[in-house]
Amino acid sequence: MIPHREWTTSRRDFLARAGLGFGGLALAAMLADEEARAEVPKIDPRQPVSPRTPHFASKADHVIFLFMEGGPSHIDLFDPKPELTKRQGQPLPASFGKVFTPMGVGGNNLLATSHKFKQHGKSGTWVSDWYPEIATVVDDIALIRSCWADGVNHVGSVCQMNTGSILAGRPSLGAWVTYGLGTTNQDLPAFVVMNDAAEPVGGPRNWGNAWLPATFQGTPFRKDGAPILYLNPPGGITDAQQRAKLELISGLDRRHAEPRKDDSRLSARLAAYELAYRMQAEAPEAVDLGKESAETKTLYGLEDDRCKEFGAMCLRARRLVERGVRFVQLYCGSGSQWDAHSNLEGNHSKLCARSDRPVAGLIKDLKRRGLLERTLVIWGGEFGRTPMTEGKDGRDHNPYGFSMFMAGGGIKPGITFGATDEFGLYAVEDKVHVHDIHATILNQLGLDHLRLTFPRDGRNERLTVNAGKVIKPILA
- DSSP-derived 3-state class of residue 44: strand
Ranking 140-154, 249-263, 443-457 by mean pLDDT, the lowest is: 249-263
CB 439 within 8 A of CB 176: no
What is the spatial distance between Cα 403 and Cα 79, in angstroms, rounded to a whole number? 8
Considering only CA atoms, which of 310, 337, 312, 316 is closest in space to residue 328? 316
Share of the chain above pLDDT 70, in %: 84
E strands present in 276-383: 327-332, 375-380
Residue 188 neighbours by CB under 8 Å, 6+ apart:
279, 282, 283, 286, 320, 323, 324, 325
pLDDT of amino acid 279 = 72
Overall residue count recorded for the chain in this entry: 476
Distances (CA, A) of 168 to 277, 339, 383, 400: 32, 21, 18, 21
Q: How many CB atoms lie within 10 A of CB 163?
A: 28
Residue 305 neighbours by CB under 8 Å, 6+ apart:
none
pLDDT of amino acid 93 = 93
Burial class (CB in 10 A: 0-12, 13-18, 19+), 34: middle
Q: What is the pTM of this model?
A: 0.88
pLDDT of amino acid 255 = 77
Please provide residue 429's backbone torsions phi and psi, each rounded to the nearest 5 degrees.
-130, 125
Pairwise pLDDT comparison (12 vs 104), residue with the higher score: 104
For the residues 436-457, what does the mean pLDDT come to? 97
Pairwise pLDDT comparison (65 vs 255), residue with the higher score: 65
Considering only CA atoms, which of 461, 475, 474 is closest in space to residue 164? 461
Counting Cα atoms < 13 Å in the Cβ hemisphere of 420 gives 31
Please provide residue 426's backbone torsions phi and psi, each rounded to the nearest 5 degrees.
-115, 140
Q: Is the pLDDT of residue 144 over 60?
A: yes
- pLDDT tens digits, one per residue of 97-132: 889 998 876 667 999 999 999 999 999 999 999 999
- pLDDT tens digits, one per residue of 254-309: 777 677 666 656 666 667 666 776 777 678 889 999 999 999 999 999 999 999 99
CA 95-99-101 angle, 5° bins = 160
- Rg from Cα positions in the chain: 25
Please provide residue 245's backbone torsions phi and psi, each rounded to the nearest 5 degrees.
-60, -45
Round the average pLDDT of the chain to a whole number and report it.
89
Q: Is the pLDDT of residue 237 over 90?
A: no
pLDDT of amino acid 108 = 79
The CATH number for 44-229+291-474, chosen from 3.30.930, 2.60.40, 3.40.720, 3.10.590, is 3.40.720
- Its sign, for the CA torsion 28, 32, 38, 42, is positive
Amino acid making up residue 389: T
Q: Is the pLDDT of residue 470 over 70?
A: yes
Pairwise pLDDT comparison (74 vs 240), residue with the higher score: 74
pLDDT band for 251, please (50, 70, 90 cuts): confident
pLDDT of amino acid 232 = 63
